[in-house]
Amino acid sequence: MKLLLGLLFLWLLSSEGNADDLEEQGKLKALRSFQLSCDQAILPETPSSSVHALRPANVKTVTAIGSLQRTPGSGVHHEDLLQSTRKSLLEVSVETLAALISSFNPSVLHQSPPPGTKGATSDSQAVDLLHQAEEIVKLMKENQMMDFQNDWKLITVFFSAENPWSSCASTTLKNCVLDNLEKLKAVLDFLYKNVPKAFVNLVDSTELTTSSLVCQDYNNASNPGRNQCNGVGECSTLDDNILRWFYQDVWEKLLESERYDQKDDFTVVLQPSLQERNLLLRLGRDGFVTTSKTQVETLEEDYTFMAVGLWNNMMEPVGRKQPYDFTKMLQVRCPSQENPYLFTYRNSNYSSSLETSDTKETSQERIYGTNIPCFDRAPSDTVPVSVHNLKPADIRVIAALGDSLTAGNGAASKPHDLLDVLTQYRGVSWSVGGNENISTVTTLANILREFNPSLIGYSTGTGKQNTVNAALNQAVAGDHAEDVPAQVRRLVDRMKNDTGINLQTDWKLITLLIGGNDLCKFCKNPVQYSPENYTYNLQTALDILHREVPRAFVNLVTVLSMPSLRELHASEDTCPRKVMSHLCPCVINPKDNSNEVKKLVYFNRRYQERTRQLVESGRYDTTDDFTVVMQPFLMNVNMPKTQEGLPDSSYFAPDCFHFSQKAHSQAARALWNNMLEPLGKKTDNQQIEDEIVLKCPSKAEPFLRTYKNSNYTYPNQTPNYGSQLLCEDRSPSSPPATSVHSLKPADVKIIAALGDSLTAGTGIASDNLLDLNTEYRGLSWSIGGDASLENVTTLPNIFRVFNVMIMGYSTGTGSENDSNAFLNQAVPGAQAKHLPAQARNLLRLMKTDPRIDFSADWKLITVHIGGNDLCNYCKDPNYYSAVNFVRRIQETLDILHKQVPKALVSLVEVMDLLPLRQLFVDTRVQCPTYMADYLCSCVLTGEENSPNLTMVREATRAYQLGIQRLVESGRYDTHENFTVIIQPFLQNIKIPLGQDGHPDVSYFSPDCFHPSQKGHSQLAKALWNALLQPAGQKAESFDFMDDIVLNCPTQNKTFLGTYKNSNYTYPPVEPTNEPIENWGSDLSCSEQTPSSPVPTSVHELQPADIKVIGALGDSLTTAVGAKATDLQTDWRGLSWSIGGDGTLETQTTLPNILKKFNPNLFGFSTGSSKETAGFNVAERGATARNMSAQARELVELMRSSSKINFKEDWKLITVLIGGNDLCKYCLDKETYSVQKYVKHLQDTLDIFYEELPRVFVNVVEILEISGLRQITASSSGCALTAKNVCPCFLNPEENSSELQEIKRVNRDFQAEALQLVNSGRYEEREDFAVVMQPFFRNTLLPPDSNGKPDLSFFAADCFHFSLRGYAEMAMALWNNMLEPVGEKQTYNNFTHDRSKLKCPNPEKPFLSTLRNSGFRNSDLNLEKTEPSVPYWAVIVAAVAGVLAGSLLIWLLSGRRARRHQHETDTERNTKTTPL
């Protein structure tokens, strides 16, 4: 039976502990947030005798104890926050758990917590937890309503770890934690000894009661005896997280020891800790200011969330419990039928992953020494005055800056001793440690001591940066780049105050490595931890050193490749993933191949690249006694592997994040070698597991290598993108030109441009992603006029060489509305549909500007558009079809042709965007791959040869061909003062490659999508040359890396090239193709035999196993119009899904395909009579409400047929319905509503599910009917006929609310049907499957040779399909059946190809279902299994293919919002196909 939440409410009102009605109403209000609906929640006949078989219904009493007082200084000065409401967390948890259990056992009692735990208590007055345990046992024994010896009890113990740094000042940290453990053991021992029949939850509530275990603010006057945190960095996130984990670890080990599992009626289970960061507490960390009614209600609601989360974890096996997520609505979990009990360690079959090593290894037993093979260790004869002549032995002072890697956290820790990672082993730190000597400890300092035994500054032993033995190791655990300037300040002050250091004359070596913590947190605040801020902070720190520290050589070590650390944390077996998921969430937590990982890789590489740019700027090479050298050995470091190919954790501390001494030794060797390698030849991919032999200074080059002594030239930081134009004839026409076909460059007086972000200049001069909002119009290839041709190559700057008075070009930055944009009316994000509006704006500007003689001045207008159309093409192929694209271009050119005199329009062909994928696929390229979906989802995302890319590839060519046909039609050559000429050089682009073979991103802005100034310069040159080239001889390709020389007009060709002055002959109209004799297909599959034996599972069904075929539907399935002129006959034998006339070679239908696999297929239709319809029960005019009747008819036909084995034969049924529902929707919105449509479809499928054995059901997604409007618009005859057939779609005016509504309903039909099919409703049977076939979702309207819809695919009514169209449907359906769910083609481009049919995959030759596509486990009982891919994943993925959905990333969220605000979202984002 179903249990309603009302039962909980009734229990609360009737049970013990009732307060006044207002309190209980508040509780009811909180509980209404949850849903509880459990089957078979009845009292067991006999109570359980074992705690490991304890069901919720067995529990008789619920109670709790806990230490929940806030520690001093945590921000609550007057009262305990957790006790400050009218009900405490203890009370709320007891009441909530009891209320939930009452659903299973209405007589359950809740024993209130003992007195003294409810009111506010200070630290000194806190009730002892053991005393609470004694009191609660006493209360239960005295309770007359319970049988203490025989009733099962649920006891929750909330335990808060004490603050070891304050309460255990005289003992070690580990001993302090163990002392706390002993206190807890005493409580649990007491319960174990004195309470029979008890299930005990142990819940860590530490995070709710203190803001930090390690370091708290003890400024409160009431606690004068407590020590404050001294020194920078003591209160680090590292300390806090590790200490929390250690508490959890020791508690878990205590319970895993089975100390409390010796009796069968008692157990203790550690539940996930309560975490304040996940709680919806409406207060700040500074404390609770007031206790208004609203805050009281809010806190009680939050406590209820906690208690429900605790209940849900009691339903989860140990090892699979989840942290409480209070950021989303919780649903109360039910016990499963298979495991109806509360989970314990024993019944969870749990084995700990936190195994300890049997190896008795100690830090003293590990030797990490090195031999120095260098014989010449002498210093310079005289102390050098130049850093470029600095020998190793000349260095007298060594220092280091950074984070915990340089502080040495955990470097000498024993394996598995996670708590010891808090120890900073500075004496073995790779860059500055000085423990022992080089024979036992390899560090950079110990290497240098072999050259200069008098070296000072190195650190020894352990301790923080403010200890004496830290010396000049001023690295601070947990620090970010923003903290380094403060470190530098302390380091400089220490050196100045050290009497042993002569700041002016001693040579100093300072090593800096920072950035790991920045990358660990970058996803939480991408602006604060941006590459720009990172390098700004580095620059600030280095500036101080440069300014205040003479005679210094600074090693700037590039941040290591952080993503490689993810390999170590793939499981919890060897590494404490939970710790690191808090400590370094942006590296550890993202899923593989997610956008978050791509973003991490991008930020990591940008950190490295910006570091290089900072050093190579020459900023620190202005004096001869100071330099900064980038040491890149960690740049491309990979995870060290064992011989078995697994991550080698021996190179890491117990937290699997910090370096062990083994790795510190290797890092020291690699850094030393880097210092001796010349710039340009430094190792940047040191593999840590390799043997690293120390290099020696050579006789020829005995110095530490700098840019100067390496003869290295830094790249030019301010490159010149100017050009030379060596044209002798720069004169205008004389007399002035009267024809556009005799127009010389100098004749052009006005220059203008229309387009999108490419012409607007988005990101041209940007050096970071944050600047991508800037439109550098003055640098735009076709219209920018900044500076002059000598340093900025643009088309206007080239024309200014011929005519200095030319005007119209844009300068500087800004939008199209700014005055300096002038005649650059391009708009970022613009599509072809926006071009007419741009043309009108341009027309207005030219007519009204007094500097322009509109009728007399010759104008050059460059038009380039189409990129954004292609980027969105896969979302709505109908809207972005070539027909629509060309129509919008035509509208624009018509405006210019009609209203602009004396103009040459240079129409730059649509760019082929597909090559840009190289920038987002190559993992070595520093491109923001995580932005691919935002920048251009249809091109930059998805796999090669995916349906989306195929669509875009075909669309690109269709756009180009459509434009060529339009322009070459002669439409714009009707008078002498106007023409349009196509510039085709962007038809085929070649991505630039660097010397390493990877794409050269210097040609692109930081988004790797828009060209940089370097790229715009090349585009400008190519455009200029194209203007001079004759039509028919123009370049049709563009290589960014070509050395493009600007051409000059010649004596023979002095004019800008047009079709007329090129003597170009327009190609003839393509002749009509010879009629195709039939619409058959060719299919030759290697495997066409049935399964042996016959499969019992639909998920192993091969085509040849199908014995029977049937179909439901309307006139599309009866094949009305198959013979185009006859609309009265149902040509069922030619039906795409059920017709069997002829053979596959002459007519493509689904049965004719299947007959290739099973010639004995039965059920298909033949001819046109009802008698030969077979199992085709479709009827013309049918709507969704007729489907259940058709389904019953089909079932009875099959059941009564003597030709089939009803129980044993496999059946294939195809359902397509909904067209008539949509066409009639506006006439009766209730009858034809989405809800009714889905209900009728569900009733139909339910009939099959309940009555038909062995069935595979195709549900074909209803087509996008709005595309038919284009068909009817192309023919007056079509319009008249079709409007009667489908009035609700074809009658509304364009852009009317009625049309928008019916389009929405169309999409809702698709989405809701998809959700029904993938809901799991039809998956309990092994021999039944329903699969959505989505080929109709984004149907591409077939154009003819003139770019108009090809009516040969349609019947005379322009609504039904012709024989040719039905054949295309059959091919698309068959291919869909073989394509895995999630990878199905969601469009049909109606291109005739006899070889389009696919063959079954030899490795997986089955018809695709959800399960065999990877969306289900083999176990049918969904409640008993964890799906390999959650069932909802396919729904979400596919519904996203139907509904609009575009989430702008943080960086550019405001960019398009301020553009085209008048646009409708339905136009821009109607569909997305699943990735």
Whether 1248 and 1323 have beta carbons less than 8 Å apart is answered as no
Per the residue annotation, which of 480, 658, 834, 897 is the catalytic one? 658
d(CA 753, CA 755): 7
Complete DSSP assignment for 380-434: -SS--SSGGG--GGGEEEEEEEESHHHHTBTTTPPTT-GGGGGSB-GGG-TTTB-
Whether 1012 sits among the annotated catalytic residues: the reply is no
d(CA 880, CA 1340): 10
Collect all residues with Cβ–Cβ distance below 8 Å to 1273 and sequence separation of at least 6. 1279
Whether 273 sits among the annotated catalytic residues: the reply is no
Altogether, the residues listed in the chain come to a count of: 1475
Rg (CA), the chain: 38
Q: CA 647 → CA 409, 413, 430, 575, 845, distances in Å?
A: 20, 19, 21, 11, 65
CA proximity to 608, closest of 675, 519, 730 = 519
d(CA 683, CA 671): 10
Half-sphere exposure (Cβ direction) of 1362: Cα atoms closer than 13 Å? 15
**Eight-class DSSP state of 816:** T
Q: Which amino acid is at 345?
A: Y
Whether 96 and 311 have beta carbons less than 8 Å apart is answered as yes
Beta strands 507-513 and 395-402, pairing class: parallel
**Which residue(s) pair with 1361 in the sheet?**
1354
Other CB atoms within 10 Å distance of the CB of residue 1077: 7
Q: Exposure string (b/e) for 579-607, b if CB count within 10 Å is 16 or more?
A: bbebbbebbbbbeeeebebbbbbbbbbbb
d(CA 74, CA 847): 70
d(CA 282, CA 302): 9
**Which residue(s) pair with 1331 in the sheet?**
1258
**Which residue(s) pair with 513 in the sheet?**
402
Under DSSP, is residue 1367 helix (H, G, I), strand (E, B) or coil?
helix
d(CA 1131, CA 380): 100
Per the residue annotation, which of 151, 239, 420, 518 is the catalytic one? 518
Collect all residues with Cβ–Cβ distance below 8 Å to 45 and sequence separation of at least 6. none
d(CA 824, CA 847): 15
Whether 741 sits among the annotated catalytic residues: the reply is no
Q: What tokens appear for 1214 in the block?
A: 């195809």
d(CA 1121, CA 1127): 5
Place of tokens 């819809």: 1349
Own/partner pairs for 1449-1454, CB < 8 Å, 24+ apart? 1449/930, 1449/931, 1449/934, 1450/526, 1451/526, 1451/769, 1451/770, 1451/772, 1451/931, 1452/769, 1452/772, 1452/773, 1452/931, 1452/934, 1454/773
Q: CA 1376 → CA 1259, 1333, 1383, 1386, distances in Å?
A: 11, 6, 9, 9
- Alpha helices (runs of H) in 1261-1383, residue ranges in sequence order: 1268-1273, 1276-1285, 1287-1290, 1297-1317, 1363-1378
Which positions are catalytic? Answer: 404, 518, 658
